[in-house]
Amino acid sequence: MSAAPLESNATNAAGYEDLCLYIDGQFLKGEGRKEQNVINPATGQVIARLPHASTDDLNRALAAAQKAFESWKHSSPMERSRIMRKVAELTRQRANEIGRNITLDMGKPLAEAIGEVTSCAEHADWTAEESRRIYGRVIPPRLPNVRQMVLREPVGVCAAFSPWNFPYNQAIRKICAAIGAGCTIIIKGPEDAPSAVVAIARMFHDAGLPPGVLNVVWGVPAEVSKHLIDSPIVRKISFTGSVPVGKQLAAMAAAQMKRSTMELGGHSPVIVCEDADVDRAADLLSGFKFRNAGQVCVSPTRFYIQEKVFDRFMARFIDRTKGMKVGDGLAADTKMGPLAHERRVPALESFVNDANDRGARIELGGKRMGGGGFFFEPTIVINPPDDSMLMTTEPFGPIAGCVPYKDLQDTIRRANSLPYGLSSYAFTTNTAHALAIQNGIEAGMVNINHFGQALAETPFGGVKDSGIGSEGGMETFDGYLVTKFVTQMG
Ligand code: NAD
**Considering only CA atoms, which residue is closest to atom 7 of ligand 1?**
241
Q: Kindly report the protein residue whose alpha carbon is nearest to atom 40 of ligand 1.
A: 297
Q: In what order do the strands lie in the sheet with 21-23?
A: 26-28, 21-23, 214-217, 184-188, 157-161, 234-240, 259-263, 467-468
Q: How far is the centre of ligand 1, averaged over its atoms, from the C-alpha of 320 (Å)? A: 30
The whole-number pLDDT of residue 372 equals: 87
Query: Is the C-beta atom of 225 inside 6 A of ligand 1?
Result: yes
Report the CATH fold assignment for 268-455.
Answer: Aldehyde Dehydrogenase; Chain A, domain 2 (3.40.309)
pLDDT tens digits along 465-490: 999 999 999 999 999 999 999 999 99
pTM: 0.96
Residue 460, ligand 1, Cβ within 6 A: no
Is the C-beta atom of 222 inside 6 A of ligand 1?
yes
Atom 9 (ligand 1): residue with closest C-alpha? 163
Class of domain 21-264+467-486: alpha beta
The pLDDT value recorded for residue 7 is 39
Answer whether 21-264+467-486 and 268-455 agree in fold: no
Query: In the structure, what pLDDT confidence band is assigned to residue 1 with cuts at 50, 70 and 90?
Result: very low
User: What's the average model confidence in pLDDT over 110-127?
Assistant: 97
Could you give the C-alpha distances from 151 to 70, 136, 481, in angstroms and in order? 18, 5, 10
Q: In the predicted model, what is the mean pLDDT of residues 3-32?
A: 75
Q: Which residues are catalytic?
A: 263, 297
Cβ atoms within 10 Å, residue 7:
8
User: Is 6 exposed, middle or buried, given 0-12, 13-18 or 19+ CB atoms closer than 10 A?
Assistant: middle
> Ligand 1: distance of its center to the CA of 234 in Å?
21
The string of pLDDT tens digits covering residues 253-302 is: 999 999 999 999 999 999 999 999 999 999 999 999 999 999 999 999 99
Q: What is the pLDDT of residue 15?
A: 85
Handedness of CA 472, 478, 479, 480 (dihedral sign): positive
Rounded Cα distance between 294 and 287, Å, is 10
Among 242, 389, 392, 396, name the best residue to mutate to test ligand 1's pocket (greatest count of ligand atoms within 8 A of Cβ). Answer: 242
pLDDT at 9 over 70: no
Q: Are 394 and 243 in contact (CB under 8 A)?
A: yes
CA of residue 192 to ligand 1 center, whole Å? 11
Write down the domain spans for the chain: 21-264+467-486, 268-455
Q: What pLDDT score does 4 carry?
A: 33
Question: pLDDT by residue (tens digit) across 299-349?
Answer: 999 999 999 999 999 999 999 999 899 999 999 999 999 999 999 999 999
The overall average pLDDT reported for the chain is 96
* Ligand 1 near 297 CB (within 6 A): yes
Q: Which pairs count as long-range contacts for 54-57, CB under 8 Å and 24+ apart, including other chains?
A: 54/1, 55/227, 56/1, 57/1, 57/21, 57/23, 57/28, 57/33, 57/217
pLDDT on residue 433: 98
pLDDT-derived band at 371, boundaries 50, 70, 90: confident
| Position in ligand 1 atom list of the atom nearest CA 347 | 25
Instruction: Return the residue whose CA atom lies nearest to atom 35 of ligand 1.
Output: 242
Please tell me the distance between residue 265's alpha carbon and the centre of ligand 1 in angstroms: 9
Nearest residue to 159 via CA among 91, 265, 69, 37: 69
CB of 245 closer than 6 A to ligand 1?
Answer: yes
* Whether residue 190 has its Cβ less than 6 Å from ligand 1: yes
- Contact of 193 with 105, CB cutoff 8 Å: yes
Per-residue model confidence as pLDDT tens digits over 204-237: 999 999 999 999 999 999 999 999 999 999 999 9
Q: How far apart are alpha carbons 275 and 279 in whole angstroms?
A: 11
For residues 5-23, give the mean pLDDT. Answer: 69
Mutate to test the pocket of ligand 1, among 166, 245, 248, 464 (most ligand atoms within 8 A of CB): 245
- For residue 12, what pLDDT is reported? 54
CA dihedral 360, 363, 366, 367 (to 10 degrees): 140
Asked if residue 263 has its Cβ within 6 Å of ligand 1, the reply is yes
pLDDT classification of 14: cutoffs 50, 70, 90: low
